[in-house]
Chains A and B, each alone.
Chain A
Amino acid sequence: MVVNQRMLHCEQVWREVSNYIDRDVDAALRSSMEEHFRTCKRCASVLAGTRNVIQLYGDERLLEVPAGFSRRLEKRLTKDAAVKGSRWSSWAAWLVPVAAIALIAGGLKLANTFTFRNLIKSQHALPANNIPPDLVVVVSSGSKIFHVPGCRFIHDKASERTLTAKQAMQEGYFPCTRCLRQYLKTGLTRHQGAAVADSGSVEEEEESEEVLSLAGR
């Protein structure tokens, strides 16, 4: 049905004025409204005032932010999203977990090394460097100490097992402070005796490596 512009009431115009401005009314209604605005001052003022509202509020200048807003936003983005200052961040994003794993793994390994070395150190280890690697020693199931065969401090002699000092240390045994005292006491200055005698021809550096690898186990 064609809307008769003469029958268009002001109330109908007000109801549609917003859609009219948004060009969201059909052609017939549009022309009826246009006609109405020409003849009705009140509705014309409603239309004009509404348009004015839209124009005023549509202005960017009305979008004000509190003082310091931009600075705080940038800071937050930088802090929480690594948004700025890092061309790194794109590849660092995957690098971080990798690095973390490497660090943890490395750290654990180092910690192990140090712990073990310190442990040995605290008990008898520095001097243990001087125990000849192929010295025949015995261990028993009762403790984590290795002894010279016949040492009277061997617990549970029935379970004795014979092996070399190197093997014993690799298996985590510590030297007895009694029967192996002679090697332990002389620790800081490399004992010139049995300790190095067997490997006398070996270069100092290689010797150190050997000792390190023993201690590091």
Chain B
Amino acid sequence: MSEPSVVLNNPGQSGAHEQELILSVQRGQNELFYELVRPYERRVYAAALAILRNEQDAEDAAQEAMLKAFANIRQFRAEARFSTWLIQITVNEALMRRRRERTVVMEGIEHGRDEESEYAPREFADWREIPSEALERKEVRQRLAEALGTLDRKYREVFVLRDMEHLNIQETAEALGISVASVKTRLLRARLMLRDLLAAGWEQGWFSRLPFEKGTKPW
């Protein structure tokens, strides 16, 4: 498959191969659809999870989104990025599910804060770069996921779409149905909060086994 470095920033198919796959599926070679979407299945799941916060719901939504993408594959136009299109379908599906459930359960506390209010960083420690091998450790990945999970929904959604799904600001705004200005504000807040959370995590020893130089910390 691809080199890890390619996977990092450009998960998925090489452009030309993907275009071929899309055309083939559009022409009726349905059996190629799974090959087309497989590189994105994790991103699709992550997008659904960011919105629904429940593994089972996220998996259902991810499957449903894939089926919808399949049903509408002929409407996909080459000028768009396939991954973005797929993520947007997933976000729609997840938001729709949440709205449906919301009629029963209100998620009240998430409306409590004013996103326009300033957020001041709390941690000002010296920076050391975290080696990317740290992500090989399940514990580290889990800590990062937990930190993300503590963010309010509106920050989490924007952050996941922008920084984990690699949608641009405009695409993120469209997917979530909010303004570009809101995306920027929320993204800033999300990034700063995560930075503080992870720095606090450092204090609690989350990354204590990482090979940092003595007396330094990454944030």
A: residues with CB less than 8 A from B are: 11, 14-15, 17-19, 21-22, 24, 41-42, 44-46, 48-50, 52-66, 69-70, 72-74, 76-78, 80-87, 89-91, 93
- Given A44-B127, A57-B144, A57-B159, A83 contacting B192 (CB threshold 8 A): no
Let me know if A59 and B135 touch, CB within 8 A.
yes
Query: B96 at interface (Cβ–Cβ under 8 A)?
Result: no
A14 to B8, CA, bound (A): 27
Let me know if A11 and B145 touch, CB within 8 A.
no
Closest A residue to B38 by beta carbon equals: A70
Let me know if A62 and B120 touch, CB within 8 A.
no
In the complex, which residues of chain A have a beta carbon less than 8 angstroms from the beta carbon of B199? 49
In the complex, which residues of chain B have a beta carbon less than 8 angstroms from the beta carbon of A66? 55, 59
A21 to B188, CA, bound (A): 10
A91 to B132, CA, bound (A): 48
- Given A57-B164, A57-B194, A64 contacting B42 (CB threshold 8 A): yes
A67 to B74, CA, bound (A): 31
Closest A residue to B184 by beta carbon equals: A19
- Given A50-B195, A65-B45, A83-B70, A90 contacting B29 (CB threshold 8 A): yes
Interface class of chain A by DSSP: helix
Let me know if B195 and A91 touch, CB within 8 A.
no
Which of B11, B30, B120 counts the most A-chain CB atoms under 10 A from its CB? B30
Interface-facing stretch out of B15-23, B60-68, B77-85, B102-110: B60-68
Which of A15, A52, A82, A93 counts the most B-chain CB atoms under 10 A from its CB? A52
Let me know if B164 and A63 touch, CB within 8 A.
yes
Let me know if A46 and B67 touch, CB within 8 A.
no
Chain B: minimal CB distance from A116 (Å):
43
Let me know if B125 and A14 touch, CB within 8 A.
no
Which of B59, B192, B219 has a CB less than 8 Å from the CB of A72? Answer: B59
A81 to B8, CA, bound (A): 30
Let me know if A49 and B123 touch, CB within 8 A.
yes
A21 to B192, CA, bound (A): 12
- Given A24-B169, A58-B164, A63-B46, A41 contacting B124 (CB threshold 8 A): yes
A11 to B7, CA, bound (A): 36
Let me know if B135 and A53 touch, CB within 8 A.
no
- Given A17-B188, A89-B30, A62 contacting B169 (CB threshold 8 A): no
A64 to B136, CA, bound (A): 12
Query: B215 at interface (Cβ–Cβ under 8 A)?
Result: no
- Given A59-B8, A65-B42, A50 contacting B34 (CB threshold 8 A): no
Binary contact track B99-127/A, C-beta < 8 Å → 1, others 0: 00000000000000000001111011111
- Given A15-B118, A66-B55, A58 contacting B46 (CB threshold 8 A): no
Which of B120, B195, B198 counts the most A-chain CB atoms under 10 A from its CB? B195
